[in-house]
Amino acid sequence: MWLNSLLHRTVLTTLGLLMVTSVSASVFAEPTADRQQELRHLLKHDCGSCHGMTLKGGLGPALLPENLASKPDEVLKQTIIHGRPPTPMPPWMGILTEEEIDWLVMLLRKGDIDA
């Protein structure tokens, strides 16, 4: 019956849309505004304890956009996730989620560290 197949198609389309929406949400998910504030604080105070509060370098190298320009996102991300044994750069896996690390890498690239 045509009404039945129309209904069926509508349900399938809706399911399809829901799946597309949830996939794109997980790709583009950003930390909440509150969490972004916490991450900015962490970047300045925790990362900053080694990399300098303005990320110009200290025990760890400078993390300003010009220092990172030649390094792919994936390298920076893996460095933050796993650290760089045996250097003092610690792993942040378990403390930060992958999405939060992506967001931090984006922040470092933009040099957007003071807001």
57 binds ligand HEC (CB under 6 A): no
Q: Which residues 6+ apart lie within 8 Å of 50 measured at CB?
A: 58, 59, 60, 88, 89
Residue 80 lies near ligand HEC (rule: CB under 6 A): yes
| Nearest to ligand HEC of 22, 34 (CB atom) | 34
Q: Contact residues for ligand HEC (CB under 6 A)?
A: 42, 46-47, 49-51, 59-61, 63, 67, 71, 76, 79-80, 84, 87-90, 92, 104
